[in-house]
Structures are given as C-alpha cells and as structure tokens.
C-alpha cells in the first residue's frame, strides 16, 4: 500500500505564489516567518503525518472506537500518536504567543492541518474541534474560565467538543430543549446531545464541552440559546482535575467512515444537573457558537482538500504500477502502465487539478483571515473579513464536493481492485462522504451564500471579489503560453457568468424560494470561478519562475498542466451552472409536492 507523502512543494508554492503571502508577512506579528521556517514546519509536519498518522489510518478504520460502560477507547496506537502530537507542539501553531501558542500565520497552520486530514482524517477531527473551542473561549470566555481551561486546550492536553443538535432538532436549532438552571456562580445543565465528535475518548484526561442550552426565562427559538462550558471533570482553583461532572456518553454511532473518531450521544444531568459555566451573555449562544462553527466549516472544507490529495496519490501510484493494455500511441510494446491510457490520464488530472484549485481557495481564505485579524488598517481588516465571510460556505461545500469526487474517481482508476477494501481506496470515499453533511450540509451552505452573504448586502461583497478577478485579466494580457491563454479565456467567461448570476440573484432577492432552488449551482459556479482565478495566478507565477530559471522545472510544468486541464474541463461548466441556477427556480415553480415528488 503506497505511503502518504505531504505535497510540501505544492503547499509552499500556493502559500508563496497564490495566496498573497507577502501581505501576511508584512504584518508585524508574522515578520519573522521566513521561507525557511515555512519549509521546516511543513517538512516536519509531513514527516509526522506520513510516519505516525498515516499508518494508523487503516488500523483505525478496521478497529474503530469502542464504548464499554460509558468509556470510549480509541484504536490501538492512537493514544501514543496523540501524545507525540501534543509533545511536538502541533496544536499551538496558530495561537498567539501571549496565549501560549507559537504565533504562526493561519495560512501555515491551515496547510499543516491538511496534512493531518490527508494522513488520518479520523484522528485530525479531535484537534480540529479543540482548536475551535479554544478560539471561542479565548474570544468570549471570562478571565477565570480562560485561566482554568484555555492553556491546556491550546496545548492539546485537554480536548474540546461542540454540542449543538439533539434527537428532535437536527439542523433546526430552534428546537433545542437542553436546559440550564442558574445555581450560584454556575448553571445546572440537563438534556441530551447527538452527533458529538470525540464526545468521549481516552486521548486526554479532560474534555471541555461547549453546549447550547436554554435558561429558564429564555425566549423561544434560536434567540433563546445560551452557550455553556461543561467539563468532563471539574477543575479546582489550582487547575487540577476534581470530581467527575454529571455528563456521560450514552452511545457511539456505527458509521460509514471515520470509524476511529467516536461520534457520541451525550447525556447531561442524569444525576441532578451537569455543572456548566456561561460563555458571554445569556441568549447569545448561537452568535458565539458561530465562532466555532465558522472555524469548523473552513476546517471541514480542508478535509475535502486532504482526502482529494490522498486519493490522488494512491490512484497515481496504482496507475503507474498496474500493467494492462497496449499503448494507444504505439510507442511501447507489450502491456503498459494504465497511466499511459488517455482515459486514466483524464481521471488523474481531474483529481490533481481540482484538488489544487480547492487547496488554493482554502489557503487564500486562510491568508485573508490573517489579514482580517492582524492588519493595522481597519478598512483593510474589514475588506478581508468580507471575503472570509463570503467564501467560508464556498470552502466548506465546494472543497468537500471536490474531495468526494476525487475519492470516487480514485476507486475508478483502481478498477475492480478499487472496490476491494484492501486497496485502501474505498476508505477515502467513505471518510470523505461525511464532510458534505456535518457542520451544515452543503445545501445549507449554499442557502447561506445566496441569502446571507450575497442577497443581504445586494451583492456588494461579491462585486468586490469579481472586480478583483477581472483586474487580473489585464495582468495576464500578452502572455501567450497555451495554459495561460486557456485559463485567461475561460476565466473571463466564468467571471462574467458569476457576475450575471449575481445580478439575477439580487434582482430576485425578494423571491427566496426562487433563488433557493438553484443555490447549490450558484455556489459551485462561485467555487469554480474563484478557484480558476487562483489557478490563473498560479500559472502566471509558474511561467515567471520558468522564465527566470528559478524553481523546480518539472513541478512548474506539472502546475501548468493542471491549470490548463482545470480551464478546459472545470471552467467550461460555468455557463451551464448559471443556466441551472436560474432554471431551477422556474422548474420548481408551481410544484405540487404531494403529486410531483
């Protein structure tokens, strides 16, 4: 079975040449982040991913997490891997030095997180959620709560979870029933939560749950939700673990994929009420939870990138090793590697090009987050934040769709062997499938994009982004290399399609059913257009480095091949997506649900 190798050269190229990293490095906090430091961090992360995490991926899939008498055990090797993960300081990368972190850019920690996901997605879910909890606590927690819990969350010594939905609620959090009753300086929490990733496990001595619940006088609906920190073990004044809190794992789910990651049903208050501490103000819980949810959505989008790359690596290795058929070009005799067959080349390049476009999008949003958080100029911060808010649902949905598609193609490249578990290819598809569902299904992300991110501001933020994409067309003028010509021509059409679709959307903003019907097509159009714009930037930099004689020639030519393939196969679909976006509303108009479905 082929080993995982982190695509460090590709990651460095995207960070340095595509995301606008010079803007990040110009920020005082990141002034010391050199190219050598980037390379060292990514190389060491790649080693840890390939040597420690990746070998556990099939083990975790085969053994899964297990629940016995309320205690969850992770598969063999996970405890030791997590210990090494914490000792290596990996959870601390993006947190400020004042909080006990390493203070590195988010775009770099994003690349590192891709490595964890590609190597072992089930393992990576635990630190991903812990980071989200730490960010929310750092922003909204009281000084006392931060002093007691934040240091160990940042280092990864303790883990964190998000507790949102319940059996009767699903995505509709207005139906949450978990209760919080004031009891002196804390609250007593009672209720059940479902689908809690790493809700119970043996990797850390304590687990810090962030729980949505209703106080006694809370208004109905989502406006009555408050956010509470509920630890598995209570903590005394010296930061030491005390008695077990009234929270327990009732069951864990038997899942299609990510089997090593325990997905728990949690019960709060079976013995009178779990002790919880209010985060922020009462009835603002959902607003505060969105800090974690948005961080998680970006991280989930990155899961699509990681799985796409891992599936590509596996399929490529198989395609070069598998001898079958004759060389259609007639240049070789006898059986040849299937990588020489045009249809297999098409599949491999589809996996490679789409994953590279998705990676560029995810890293671009991470770099914009760095600027939004650290830039000295308020308008620059606001402009970057607008792009982050606009593109977060696109990263979550489009990148996870790319991951699923790549994993599916990977099985096809393997042929019959791809349907056999021992090949390793099926696990990638099974693991990837959840990413389009959790943290808000991709359909919900599309609704968020069209209603909250585009219609609400009359298309202003999207208009800013489109203007920047159109400006790049002039930069590429006069470049005659085939890949650059192809990407420029397709990018111009894709941006026009996005602009025209956005204009139609804003004209029909008062017809929510109409724009909701085709929202997924609008989101996909946006992902392809923005991904194409970033691939165009990659092409321009690759050509520049080839002309200067800098960089790895083979890598740069490979990049140009990816760019041209993306232009000629993905970007040509934007006009059809525009038609689907507009046409869906027409097709569903007057639909009789009982009769027609």
Catalytic residues: 439
* Residues 560/543, Cβ–Cβ less than 8 Å: yes
- In the block, tokens 């961080």 appear at 295
CA-CA-CA-CA dihedral for 179, 224, 437, 584, to nearest 10? 150
Rounded Cα gap, residues 382 and 375, in angstroms = 10
* Residues 152/206, Cβ–Cβ less than 8 Å: yes
Rounded Cα gap, residues 174 and 45, in angstroms = 41
Rounded Cα gap, residues 150 and 130, in angstroms = 10
* Residues 209/277, Cβ–Cβ less than 8 Å: no
The runs of H, that is alpha helices, within 270-323 are 285-321
286: alpha, beta or left? (left if phi > 0; alpha if psi -120 to 50): alpha
Q: How many of the other CB atoms lie within 10 Å of CB of 231? A: 23
Q: Which residues have CB under 8 Å from 423's CB, separation 6+?
A: 1, 314, 318, 414, 417
Give SS3 for 424.
Answer: coil
Half-sphere CA count of 183, side-chain side, radius 13 A: 14
CA distances from 402 to 26, 198, 553 (A): 32, 25, 27
Rounded Cα gap, residues 379 and 75, in angstroms = 49
CA distances from 327 to 320, 336, 345 (A): 13, 6, 13
- In the block, tokens 């072992």 appear at 120
Helix H, strand E, coil C: the string for 441-460 is CHHHHHHHHHHHHHHCCCCH
CB-based burial label for 272 (10 Å; 0-12, 13-18, 19+)? exposed
Rounded Cα gap, residues 218 and 278, in angstroms = 14
For residue 24, what are its two tokens? 């990040």
Rounded Cα gap, residues 340 and 354, in angstroms = 20
Name the residue among 162, 99, 96 with its Cα closest to residue 125: 162
Rounded Cα gap, residues 302 and 300, in angstroms = 5
In angstroms, the first-to-last Cα distance of the chain is 45
CA distances from 435 to 7, 16, 75, 79 (A): 21, 28, 22, 24
Largest distance between two CA atoms of the chain: 82
* Residues 531/566, Cβ–Cβ less than 8 Å: yes
């Amino acid at each position: 079975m082929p080993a995982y190798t982190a695509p460090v050269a590709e990651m460095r190229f995207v960070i340095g040449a595509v995301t606008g990293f010079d803007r990040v490095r110009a920020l005082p906090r990141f002034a010391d982040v050199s190219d050598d430091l980037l390379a060292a961090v990514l190389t060491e992360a790649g080693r840890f991913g390939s040597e420690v995490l990746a070998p556990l991926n099939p083990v975790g899939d085969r053994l899964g997490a297990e629940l016995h008498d309320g205690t969850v055990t992770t598969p063999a090797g996970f405890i030791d891997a997590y210990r090494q993960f914490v000792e290596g300081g990996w959870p601390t990368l993006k947190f400020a030095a004042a909080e006990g972190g390493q203070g590195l850019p988010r775009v770099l920690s994003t690349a590192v997180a891709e490595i964890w996901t590609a190597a072992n997605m089930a393992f990576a879910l635990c630190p991903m959620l812990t980071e989200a909890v730490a960010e929310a606590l750092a922003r909204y927690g009281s000084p006392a709560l931060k002093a007691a819990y934040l240091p160990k969350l940042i280092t990864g010594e303790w883990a964190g979870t998000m507790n949102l939905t319940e059996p009767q609620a699903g995505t509709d959090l207005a139906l949450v029933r978990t209760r919080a009753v004031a009891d002196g300086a804390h609250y007593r929490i009672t209720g059940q939560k479902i689908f809690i990733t790493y809700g119970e496990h043996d990797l850390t001595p304590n687990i810090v749950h962030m729980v949505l619940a209703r106080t006694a006088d809370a208004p109905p609906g989502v406006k009555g939700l408050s956010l509470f920190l509920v630890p598995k073990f209570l903590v005394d004044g010296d930061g030491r673990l005390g008695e077990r809190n009234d929270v327990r794992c009732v069951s864990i789910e038997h899942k299609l994929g990510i089997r090593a990651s325990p997905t728990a049903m949690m019960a709060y208050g079976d013995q009178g009420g779990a002790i919880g501490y209010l985060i922020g103000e009462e009835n603002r819980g959902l607003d505060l939870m969105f800090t974690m949810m948005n961080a998680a959505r970006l991280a989930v989008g990155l899961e699509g990138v990681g799985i796409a790359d891992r599936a590509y690596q596996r399929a490529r290795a198989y395609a070069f090793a598998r001898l079958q058929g004759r060389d259609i070009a007639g240049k070789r005799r006898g059986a040849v590697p299937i990588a020489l067959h045009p249809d297999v080349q098409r599949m491999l390049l589809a996996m490679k090009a789409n994953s590279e476009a998705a990676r560029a999008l995810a890293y671009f949003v991470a770099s914009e987050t760095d600027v939004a958080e650290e830039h000295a100029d308020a308008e620059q911060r606001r402009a970057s934040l607008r792009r982050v808010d606009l593109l977060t649902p696109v990263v979550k949905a489009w990148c996870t769709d790319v991951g699923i598609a790549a994993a599916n193609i990977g099985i096809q490249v393997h042929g019959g062997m791809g349907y056999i578990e021992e090949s390793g290819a099926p696990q990638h598809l099974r693991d990837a499938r959840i990413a389009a569902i959790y943290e808000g299904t991709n359909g919900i992300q599309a609704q968020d994009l069209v209603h909250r991110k585009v219609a609400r501001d009359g298309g202003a933020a999207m208009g800013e982004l489109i203007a920047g994409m159109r400006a790049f067309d002039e930069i590429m003028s006069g470049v005659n290399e085939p890949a650059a010509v192809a990407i420029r021509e397709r990018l111009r059409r894709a941006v026009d399609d996005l602009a025209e679709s956005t204009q139609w959307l804003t004209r029909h903003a008062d017809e929510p059913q109409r724009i909701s019907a085709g929202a997924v097509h609008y989101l996909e159009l946006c992902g392809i257009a923005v991904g194409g714009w970033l691939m165009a930037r990659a092409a321009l930099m690759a050509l520049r480095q080839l002309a200067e004689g800098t960089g790895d020639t083979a890598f740069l030519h490979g990049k140009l091949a990816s760019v041209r393939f993306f232009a000629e196969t993905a970007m040509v679909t934007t006009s059809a997506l525009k038609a689907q976006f507009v046409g869906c509303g027409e097709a569903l108009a007057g639909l009789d649900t009982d009769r027609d479905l």
